[in-house]
Structure 1
Amino acid sequence: MAGARRTALTTRMTLLVVVICVLILTLAYPLRLYLQQQSQLNGLAAQNADQHKRVEALKTAVAGYDDPEWTRDEARTRLHFTQPGETVYLAPAAAAVPSSPVPTPGAAAAEAPWFSRLWSDTVGAGAPSTGIAPGAGQAASRQPVTAPSPSATPR
């Protein structure tokens, strides 16, 4: 009888352990998703607070644009405007000293205005890549172009 009680008790304990394990495994995935979503919500809340701070700073900056004194100061510093009766002295800018004595070939192209680079890229796009500059071999074969003379016949 003691043996039967002992087997019944171990069977119940085993069944209880299996049920607890199944419950833990069943709840583990949804709990992990819940915690992950809470983490995302906290991150978005922090990002939202940063955005609100930025919006408030921008609103403050825009409110300053209505101030006539600020506008006057900006016109003086950026546009060199002066008040009537003021004398203005402008000093020439100091010449820029190149940092390297030997210019690199790519540096001149990078400093050229955007439209010059666009034009040179457009002109160079149709040239074959033989190592010869575009139009170098065509100079001798070109004929001089003359403007048409005005017609002497009345219209």
Structure 2
Amino acid sequence: MKRTYAQQPRRYTGRATVLAGVLVALALAYTYPVRVYLNQQSDIARIEAAQQAQRELIGDLTEEAALWDDPEYVKIQARERFFMVLPGESPLVVLVDRKGAARDAGVDPKAAERAPQPWYDTLWSSVQAANEPDRAGR
């Protein structure tokens, strides 16, 4: 007796191959529009974030502009920014010139730059400098 074997069914039929080809073509056809759509969505999100930042900036500037309507605020700003004073007041402007202060105190300015002194040593050296006779001969 001769054994017969059943034929193996073919894995891919003609219909399956055509269907796979159509699906690949559709996937490739939709790839570009989906990419454009996603890029547009990211652009929209970026622009909306920029608009929100602009709205916040406009709100902050509006609040600051409202402050300038107050005369007290204007006086405070004039005093701080332009060192203006009311009649009868004496302005006091503190200038920080470490080299000049060291030179006036008789200390080498380069030494004063390298090692800053504590405030009480600076105060004491200024008291001592004020106690010395005027060097300019006045």
TM range (shorter): 0.5 to 0.7
TM-score (norm 2): 0.58
**In the alignment, what sits opposite 2:65?**
62
**In the alignment, what sits opposite 1:52?**
55
Question: Which of 96, 99, 124 is residue 97 of structure 1 equivalent to?
Answer: 99
How far residue 93 of structure 1 moved from its aligned partner, in angstroms, is 2.4
**Structure 2 unaligned spans of 5+:** 1-6, 101-108, 111-138
Question: Which of 34, 37, 43 is residue 37 of structure 2 equivalent to?
Answer: 34
Q: Which amino acid aligns with 1:17?
A: A
**Pairing of 1:1-155 with structure 2 (within 5 A):** 10-84=13-87, 86-90=88-92, 93-97=95-99
2-structure distance, mates of 1:74, 1:36: 48
**In the alignment, what sits opposite 1:112?**
none
Paired residues, number: 95
Structure number with higher helix proportion:
2
Aligned-residue Cα RMSD (Å) equals 2.7
> Structure 1's 79 and 13: CA in aligned 2 closer, same or farther, altered over 3 A?
same
Asked whether the 8 Å contact 2:83–2:91 carries over to 1, the reply is no
2-structure distance, mates of 1:50, 1:82: 38
1-structure distance, mates of 2:40, 2:64: 36
TM-score (norm 1): 0.52
Query: Identity, % of aligned pairs?
Result: 30
